Amino acid sequence: MKDYSDLRMHTAEHLLNQTVVRVLGCGRAFSSHIEKKKSKCDYRFQRDLAAEERIEIERRVNEAIKANLPVREDFVPRSEAEKSLDLGRLPEGAAGDTLRVIRIGDYDACPCIGPHAASTAELGIFRIISTGFADGVLRIRFKLDAPAAGL
């Protein structure tokens, strides 16, 4: 089973995925490695990010973080989820007729079995630290700066 030990980074992964879908028009990450200090997501895409795209992705993720969006779980019949959600990366343990869907405000909804922050305000500042492209794969490496004091 995938390790989701860092709630902040895992929640940021959801925001990054939705933002990449919106900005680049490609699917969610097909592979990811989430750690406390830095993480990465791999996308099927045909080139590296342009500077403007990188800035726009960071801006949108940080805007969602600042919006203090609630993070909640819903249990949805698989037949309903298939109509509106990407089930391509259903995690191990997600078998059955009901799926756990994580909703981040009205920004993102995704089947997931991992733990998450209670709100995007807990995440801190999102930064893309590097990107790369090889063999049809765009890799985005990111980190989170510490959240504001008191969180």
Q: 108-119, pLDDT tens digit by residue? A: 999 988 899 999
130 belongs to a structural domain? yes
DSSP 22-57: HHH-----SEEE--SS-EEEEEE-SSPPPHHHHHHH
Identify which has the larger pLDDT, 133 or 82: 133
CATH code of the domain containing 135: 3.30.980.10
Mean per-residue pLDDT, 43-71: 97
pTM: 0.90
2 belongs to a structural domain? no
pLDDT in tens, 69-113: 999 999 999 889 888 888 877 766 666 789 999 999 999 999 988
> What percentage of the chain carries pLDDT values higher than 70?
91
Element (H, E) at 144: strand 137-144
Mean per-residue pLDDT, 114-130: 96
Residue 136 has pLDDT above 60, yes or no: yes
65 belongs to a structural domain? yes
**DSSP state, residue 70:** B
d(CA 87, CA 135): 24
CA distances from 118 to 62, 71, 134 (A): 16, 5, 35
94 belongs to a structural domain? no
Q: Lowest-confidence range among 7-16, 20-29, 83-92?
A: 83-92
Q: Highest mean pLDDT: which of 3-7, 29-33, 56-60, 90-94?
A: 56-60
Domain carrying residue 46: 7-73+118-144
Domain count, the chain: 1
Smallest Cα–Cα separation from 142: which of 132, 125, 129?
129
Per-residue model confidence (pLDDT) at position 2: 53
22 belongs to a structural domain? yes
Smallest Cα–Cα separation from 4: which of 92, 114, 95, 106?
114
Residue 149 has pLDDT above 60, yes or no: no
Mean per-residue pLDDT, 46-68: 97
Smallest Cα–Cα separation from 124: which of 72, 62, 69, 71?
62
